[in-house]
């Protein structure tokens, strides 16, 4: 089975592999990282069977290494994602994404009455819960909402 996965999403010589993305969040990760505009080779695989998740996706970006503050943004939609840095077909480093303390921009407030939904201001949230599903507290209306109500800008 392992062999087959490797065939579907082939290896890259150097770059970043983002694994353990919930299958439903793969396209959101693509958007958050701005991969639509990349000219590097990108391999995207999804709906693989996973022990940790129901179905998972993998993204491999050839010749690209992301800054932690960029990569941690994907924790919003893929809190269990792992990040592997590949150099010369070797694993250089493997880490798990970290949910940031504050989220600036990126997410829309779930409260329709919130000022941030009516004026041109950058949204701002405090992460008040990281385990058992993310919970964000809006800086402007002080409402707290969970992952299911999160809308990525």
Task: Specify the stretch interacting with Zn ion by CB under 5 A; choose among 17-25, 44-52, 87-95, 114-122.
Answer: 114-122
CB of 134 to Zn ion, least distance (A): 16
Q: DSSP assignment, residue 100?
A: -
Which of 63, 70, 79 lies closest to 21, judged by CA? Answer: 79
| Under 8 Å between Cβ of 32 and 73 | yes
Selected from 23, 35, 44, 141, the binder of Zn ion by CB under 5 A is 141
x/- mask, Zn ion, residues 13-52, rule CB under 5 A, reads: ----------------------------------------
Q: Which of 12, 74, 114, 136 binds Zn ion (CB under 5 A)?
A: 114
Instruction: Identify which of 96, 78, 79 has the alpha carbon closest to the alpha carbon of residue 131.
Output: 79
* Minimum distance from residue 149 beta carbon to Zn ion (Å): 11
From the list 111, 129, 144, 147, which residue makes contact with Zn ion (rule: CB under 5 A)?
A: 111
- Contact region with Zn ion (CB under 5 A), list: 1-9, 21-29, 48-56, 141-149: 141-149
Task: Based on the shown chain and the rule CB under 5 A, indicate whether residue 140 belongs to the binding site for Zn ion.
Answer: yes
Distance of CA 55 to the CA centre of its chain: 15
Residue 144 touches Zn ion, criterion: CB under 5 A? no
Q: Partners of 16 in the beta sheet? A: 61, 85
Backbone angles phi, psi at 88, to 5 degrees: 45, 50
Distance CA 59, CA 74 (A): 12
Name which of 8 and 153 has its Cβ closer to Zn ion: 153
Cα 72 from Cα 100, distance rounded (Å) = 6
Q: Which chain residues interact with Zn ion by CB under 5 A?
A: 109, 111, 114, 138, 140-141
């Amino acid at each position: 089975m392992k062999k087959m996965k490797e065939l579907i999403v082939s290896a890259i010589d150097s770059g970043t592999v983002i694994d353990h993305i919930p299958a439903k969040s793969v396209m959101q990760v693509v958007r958050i990282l701005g991969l639509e505009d990349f000219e590097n080779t990108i391999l995207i695989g999804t709906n693989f069977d996973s022990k940790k998740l129901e179905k998972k996706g993998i993204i491999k970006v050839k010749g690209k290494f992301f800054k932690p503050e960029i990569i941690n943004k994907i924790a919003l939609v893929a809190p269990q994602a792992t990040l592997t840095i590949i150099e010369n077909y070797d694993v250089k480093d493997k880490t798990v994404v970290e949910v940031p303390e504050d989220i600036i921009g990126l997410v829309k407030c779930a409260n329709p009455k919130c000022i941030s939904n009516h004026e041109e201001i950058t949204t701002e949230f405090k992460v008040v819960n990281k385990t058992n599903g993310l919970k964000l507290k809006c800086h402007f209306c002080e409402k707290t909402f969970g992952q299911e109500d999160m809308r990525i800008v």
